[in-house]
């Protein structure tokens, strides 16, 4: 049985990535774009808890930041009113996420950015 050369393996991986990108979908993500950190107003958290029936909210998790219920609440209240604290300036960004890829929110001194990656498992 012949083994694949490094070039053939690389070509196969590139084809897989291209196919995943072709099947991408746009996803909205709520992030902080100001030095300081991500914080939500009590009003947003209250509306979210009421709408979902959940008292446990993990604001740093990607699933929460991409939740259509949260995004709808923030859009209705407005970005400025939805944030809490002087170091918070919220923004909703849309990113194309290829099939099978994951979203990662990166943070430096409170300013956040969104990236996608292909898990290697």
Residue 3, pLDDT score: 79
Residue 18, pLDDT score: 78
- Choice between 53 and 121, residue whose per-residue pLDDT is larger: 53
Sign of CA dihedral 74, 76, 77, 78: positive
Distance between CA atoms of 79 and 41, rounded to whole angstroms?
10
pLDDT tens-digit series, residues 7-44: 888 898 888 777 767 778 999 999 999 998 899 999 99
pTM over 0.85: no
**Nearest of 46, 43, 62, 44 to residue 54 by alpha carbon:** 46
């Amino acid at each position: 049985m012949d083994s694949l050369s490094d070039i053939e393996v690389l070509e196969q991986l590139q084809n897989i990535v291209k196919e995943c990108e072709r099947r991408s979908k746009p996803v909205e993500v709520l992030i902080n774009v100001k030095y300081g950190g991500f914080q939500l107003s009590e009003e947003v958290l209250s509306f979210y808890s009421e709408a979902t029936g959940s008292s446990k909210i993990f604001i740093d998790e990607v699933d929460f930041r991409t939740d259509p219920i949260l995004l709808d609440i923030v859009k209705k209240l407005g970005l400025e009113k939805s944030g809490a604290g002087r170091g918070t300036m919220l923004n909703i960004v849309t990113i194309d996420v290829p099939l099978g890829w994951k979203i990662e929110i990166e943070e430096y001194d409170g300013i956040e950015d969104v990236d996608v990656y292909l898990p290697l498992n």
